[in-house]
Amino acid sequence: MAEKKQSIRTETIRRVLHDLAGYKKWLIMTVLLAVVTVALTLYVPILIGRAIDRIESAGHVDFNAVTRILLTIGISVAVTALAQWVMSIAHNKITYEVIEDIRNRAIDRIEHLPLSYLDSHPTGVTVSRMISDVDQFADGLLMGFTQLFTGVLTILGTLIFMLSIHPAITLVVIVMTPLSLFVAAFIAKRTYKMFRVQAETRAEQTAIINETVANQKIVQAFGHEAETMRDFDEINDRLTEASLKATFYSSLTNPCTRFVNALVYAAVGLTGALAAIRGSISVGQLSCFLSYANQYTKPFNEISGVMTELQNALACADRIFSLIDEPTEIPDAPDAAVLTDVRGDVQFQDISFSYVPERPLIEHCSVNVKSGQRVAIVGPTGCGKTTLINLIMRFYDVNDGAVCIDGHDIRNVTRDSLRQNIGMVLQETWLKAATVRENIRMGKRDATDEQIIAAAKAAHAHSFIKRLPQGYDTVISDKSGALSQGQRQLLCIARLMLCLPPMLILDEATSSIDTRTEQKIQSAFRTMMQGRTSFIVAHRLSTIREADLILVMKDGHIIEQGDHDSLLKQGGFYAELYQSQFARADQTDPDTP
């Protein structure tokens, strides 16, 4: 297990470095600027030491030399500040362009993931990876750029300068260095695992917050506030515990390394003072050496902090890359055909399908649907009605058998051409954050305003749209409280009526619409279905009588099929469904559908 985790971490580091490889010029520039910054920063203590040595005693001060040295110090500090500013710009550019690229790849992968992934992973977890984890990764990467380069160069530079001044004292510093390295390694090993647990728990928290806020009406309607709070408290407690552990170990970095720094400084001060008494080093050189001792140990403190942040960043990067690495839906075959001039003949050829291998759903289903037929799919909840629709749209692929349109196995045609020839209105509405006009135009981007209004009128949506504050230019969203569920569904119907593809799928398309409007919509649907193959999924059997073919499903099997009258005569499962819904209505009004 430990080897596997180490392998994952190594692979994550390799991929981060690979992403940085596209910015070689910027990286080279930052290294050069870091060299300039460190060189000038280390040169200043030498100048200060020389200035001290020019002050021998009262009345014996070389003011001309001191002035020149102070001027040189001022220029060095100014150039260092400029180099640091430019280096900061370069670091930000590299970091945030890498982050932009990672987010683009992540959202692109999400758009190409199979529905099975999205159905099995909470939305909040995916959102957390896209936002929180990427932000954490950016913070760690930026800190690594800002402090890691300069820290390493400072350590190397101070060693070189100290060796040039007094090798013996430098040896004291080098001997004590492993203590700082041990402290940094000890903390880094323990923080990676803790920050990973923290990131995973944070994702759980984001998921439950997302679900609770999005479904607050359901929570309140069923009095589920207490249970939701208990679930949230449990996750929040785990996040608190994980965060405390991660923060505790990471916060050890500063005091531990400062303690080591103090030991090194004291050792240098003691050995340097003895050397100065013996005359092997001047007071100015001792001052310079003490400054270098501080600068030498300080990067270990910063690098330890950077390593802690990098552990957190790598844990987050691992989660982001795992999302990016998720297998996409099966791509179109290289020789996939493009569906054109679709007639609408549909065949289910001995198909079998299950969402979970150990729980079969649809088994050995065969149906022939002729062009222009209206096919109703009925049955109890969970029998596989919507699953059949998912298979036609190729949101999922069959496990066995084949679904064919006009004789083409849909697995051998492009998804785009398949879906462009099928129009859908689902029970669940989806509207994007845009104007009413843009939402209706989604299925036909080149539609004129006249065509949009005509489609809205056909869907009986025009009247309520005109009552909106800006009419067709009113900005709405899927969660907009300005529209009722029925109005949102009418907009989705208008969207379908605008593009009018050769095949239609209506999955409880009028479930949220009042009876009077539904009757008008059904009239519009009847006109729209003329000459088009249509699949109608219904619990309310409002359109069943007029269907050319009714498929009665139960437990994933089509147990009956035929038209309304023939199925009633059979006296089977369909007849029971029909009688349970319409017997009383027929007794009071024989014309009631």
Which CATH number is 273's domain given?
1.20.1560.10
Q: Is residue 116 part of a domain?
A: yes
What number is the average pLDDT over the span 38-61? 77
Domain count, the chain: 2
CATH number of the domain where residue 389 is located:
3.40.50.300
Of 289, 324, 359, the one marking the end of a domain is 324
Check pLDDT > 90 for residue 259. Answer: no
Of 290, 324, 358, the one marking the end of a domain is 324
**Coil vs helix vs strand at 231:** helix
375 and 312 fall within a common domain: no
**Is the pLDDT higher at 180 or at 327?**
327
User: Using 50, 70 and 90 to split pLDDT, how confident is the model at 588?
Assistant: very low
Check pLDDT > 60 for residue 590. Answer: no
Cα–Cα dist 572/586, whole Å: 19
33 and 98 fall within a common domain: yes
pLDDT tens by residue, 86-110: 988 888 888 888 888 888 998 988 8
What pLDDT was estimated at residue 589? Answer: 47
Tokens of 157: 């530079």
202, 132 contact by CB (below 8 A) = yes
Cα–Cα dist 498/86, whole Å: 55
Q: Is residue 528 part of a domain?
A: no
309 and 353 fall within a common domain: no
Side-chain half-sphere of 574: how many Cα atoms within 13 Å? Answer: 25
Span of 410-419, 491-500, 515-524 with lowest mean pLDDT = 515-524
143 and 252 fall within a common domain: yes
138 and 278 fall within a common domain: yes
What pLDDT was estimated at residue 211? Answer: 82
Cα–Cα dist 574/559, whole Å: 9
Check pLDDT > 50 for residue 209. Answer: yes
User: Using 50, 70 and 90 to split pLDDT, how confident is the model at 591?
Assistant: very low
User: Using 50, 70 and 90 to split pLDDT, how confident is the model at 450?
Assistant: very high
254 and 386 fall within a common domain: no
* Pairing mode, strands 503-507 and 533-537: parallel
Q: Is residue 517 part of a domain?
A: no
Of 281, 299, 324, the one marking the end of a domain is 324
What number is the average pLDDT over the span 445-457? 90
Residue with tokens 């300080």: 298
Span of 274-288, 415-429, 487-501, 577-591 with lowest mean pLDDT = 577-591
Angle ∠(217,218,221) on CA atoms, nearest 5: 80
Tokens of 336: 């996939």
- In this structure, the number of other CB atoms found within 10 A of the CB of residue 437 comes to 18
314 and 345 fall within a common domain: no
For residue 174, give its domain range.
17-324
* Pairing mode, strands 503-507 and 346-353: unpaired
Check pLDDT > 80 for residue 145. Answer: no
308 and 394 fall within a common domain: no
361 and 318 fall within a common domain: no
410 and 268 fall within a common domain: no
Cα–Cα dist 41/291, whole Å: 11
**Coil vs helix vs strand at 14:** helix
Q: Is residue 251 part of a domain?
A: yes
What pLDDT was estimated at residue 299? Answer: 74
370 and 306 fall within a common domain: no
Cα–Cα dist 467/458, whole Å: 17
Cα–Cα dist 492/424, whole Å: 9
Tokens of 274: 């003895």
213 and 351 fall within a common domain: no
Q: Which secondary-structure segment (H or E) carries 453?
A: helix 449-458
Q: Is residue 333 part of a domain?
A: no
Per-residue exposure over 55-75, b if at least 16 CB sit within 10 Å of its own CB, e if not:
eeeeeeeeeeeeeebeeebee
Q: Is residue 497 part of a domain?
A: no
Q: Is residue 456 part of a domain?
A: no
Residue 238 burial by CB count (10 A; 0-12/13-18/19+): exposed, middle or buried?
middle
Alpha carbon separation from 563 to 531, 549, 569 (Å, rounded)? 18, 5, 10
Tokens of 282: 């001047």
pLDDT tens by residue, 346-389: 999 999 998 887 788 888 888 899 988 889 888 887 788 888 88
Q: Is residue 480 part of a domain?
A: no
